[in-house]
Chains A and B, each alone.
Chain A
């Protein structure tokens, strides 16, 4: 069957490079954001989250930046490894709602 990654924007990097994946979110009232990683044939996996009262949050090798003025979210992956190859989704939540709205995703391809 077709891969979920077909027809998605693709970012190709070399192993060891830093990667930046971008996401434009839709609702200015959203106050919580998550990045997910989805490897081929698997379910999405949580990477990092950020609340709207922050503009930056760091994890292990990952940093999320939030620009509420232009409704933009980015995921930075330091020293990208072949195991980082996957589809990355952003998701947003509005306070008081129990659902997430997902972006369409970006495929990251890391060459050794």
Chain B
């Protein structure tokens, strides 16, 4: 039981490049989430998917898109990366309220 997995672990992009962060969970959870974490700040919600087939904006959705590919997988896409998107990105999933987090992706945009 791997829990929540994320790929890649690290990524460096140039301004304007695009990329997709992958997340998968094997706990049969309905809801999945993408957060970003910046120094000195808590976790800020980017997008979430309360169930397969639905997605909703969180607190900081601008510059991102998401896809809930199936019940297991929830991807986050940066179409045109900006230096302000340098951050650590966490994916999480839950059946009810307690969220389980992946190990994170550290993204640097130069």
Contact = CB atoms under 8 A, between A and B. Distances in A.
A106 B39 CA distance: 12
Contacts, number: 59
A42 B88 CA distance: 10
Interface size range of chain A in the complex: 20 to 34
A104 B42 contact: yes
Nearest to B44: A102
Interface stretch (B62-70, B76-84, B99-107): B99-107
Given A4-B39, A99-B33, A43 B101 contact: yes
B39 A45 contact: no
A42 B40 contact: no
Which residue, B42, B44, B100, has most C-beta atoms of chain A within 10 A? B42
Interface size range of chain B in the complex: 20 to 34
A1 B43 contact: no
B90 interface: yes
Contacts of A100: 97, 99
Interface of B: 4, 31, 33, 37-45, 48, 50, 58, 88, 90, 92, 94, 97-104, 106, 108
